[in-house]
Structures are given as C-alpha cells and as structure tokens.
Structure 1
Amino acid sequence: MIIYATSAELQEWIGEATLPPKAASFLRSASLMVRTETMTAVYATDPEGMPTDPKVSAAFRDATCAQVAAWDGMGIDPSSAGVPSAAPVRSKKLGSGGVEYDTSVNSSVTAFQAKKEAANNLCAESWMILQQAGLMPGGVQRG
C-alpha cells in the first residue's frame, strides 16, 4: 500500500509537538482515500506507484496530511467509520455511583451522520489541494 506522507510530515503539517493517536493508521487510511479519489488522474509514477513530479507528490502528501488533520480536529477515527459506539459521558458521580450519557445535539443522529460522512469523504481542504494540482475531475491539464 502506498502511503503519501510520513509521521514527520504530518507533524510539520499540524504544527504540534505530538502526533494524533493512531497517526500511522490515519495516514494509511487518508492515503487510501486520496488514491481512490484520484484514480482517474494522469501523472507519472515510479515502479512503486509514487508520483515522480515533485508538485504532484507534494499535492498527494499535503492532501493526506490535511485529511488526517481534519479527522483529528473532528475527533473522527476512520477505522470506526466515524461513528462512536456509544454516546459520550456527560457527567459522573462518585458517591452512590452513576453515569449520565450526553444525548444532546453532539450525540444526535445528525451528528453521527456528519461524522460518518467526514470519515468516508475527503475534507474540503484535501479536495482543493488535489483539484488545484489538476488531479481531480475537471482539473487543469498542463502540457
């Protein structure tokens, strides 16, 4: 499997000292999504399938990092299709026990659907990076 960005490149992209949990898994998932979305794009590759043009390679890297940053910022794990298995805990009690789950708008069906969509589709920034590099449908062909 081709992975378009390294952990170091992701760390530089997000500008933070620590990487998101599961960064390697997120980079793999984002690379797969970027590759799928650019399946019909025409560009030169090396024998492993990596783009050889530095501008195209940078677009793949940047789109991959932007996708991981979006998932991390929205609290989405693409391996779970973006849907948490349970509502988040709103409050806890120590004496006499008790846990209360958050069923507000953040845990609503609409929020779950939005997270599912975000887990399964390129974020706007990734799409624009690829589109401006001429790798998305309707992109500019040079040469």
Structure 2
Amino acid sequence: MNKSVIVTTAVILVLLAAAGGLYLRNQVQPQAEVTSEALPTPTNNPVVTESPTPTSAVMEKVEIKFTDTGFEPKAVTIKKGTAVTFTNDSARTMWVASAPHPTHTDYPEFDQKATGNEYVFIFDKVGAWKFHNHNPFVGGGVITVTE
C-alpha cells in the first residue's frame, strides 16, 4: 500500500474519533453534585403563601337587568364573594340600593349612590338582601347570599 494512502487513512480515523468524542461529550453531561455546603443557609424570611380570597374563589357572574317593568330576575341565590352586575335596559334612570327605601340601611355598602347604566357589587355578607331602584323608586327584589 502506498505510504500517502496510509497516512491519509490514519488522519481521517483520528479526525472521526475526535469528532465522535466531542459529540458524545456534548450529549452526556454529568450532573453537578449537590452538597449541603453548596446550599444557602435558611434565613428568617417569612414564607408567603397565597390563599384565595372569597372573591377570587367564588367569583361567579350574575346579571340583573333593570327594565321598564322592573328588575329581572327579581330573586337570585348566590355564594358569598359573587359579583352581581345590574344593567339598565329601561328608559328610566337606575340607582340600585339596598332596602329600606330611602335610607338603604340594611346593607349600606350596597348602594350605587348615583344614577348610571351599570353597577357591579360584590356581595361579601351572608343574608337575604332586598334591593330597589332608588330614583325613581321602583320595587326590586332580593339577593340571597350563602357561604
């Protein structure tokens, strides 16, 4: 065999072996060994955990429409933390508030406090809450809130 053929074959074999070694080294990388000295020591930082609020845990969507004939539906039962949207679909002004009219003292926070076309209220108290349209006064309905 010719000397140049042997040298060329040897060089090709060495290059193939080197390329194969590099390929295997890149494919299989050893895991870094974790020791207790490598871990940071705990500090007295508080652990923050998030628990769902009643609003985010329940957050159903309920809509009550104020029409020319009154509120529809007139009665709903919801879970605590549910948002209720009141929408004005009438020719009148809408001002949703809790009973009794005109003082709204049964659930004072449940009061739109002004006229508008939409009012959203999140019920966070358990009970049966009567409501009405304040101005002009139109009888309403009742929202029953359960746990």
Common fold: TM-score over 0.5: no
TM-score normalised by structure 1 residue count: 0.22
Q: Which has the higher helix share?
A: 1
Q: Pick 1 or 2: higher relative contact order, CA cutoff 8 A, min separation 6.
A: 1
TM-score normalised by structure 2 residue count: 0.22
Please identify the structure whose Cα radius of gyration is greater.
2
Q: Which has the higher strand share?
A: 2
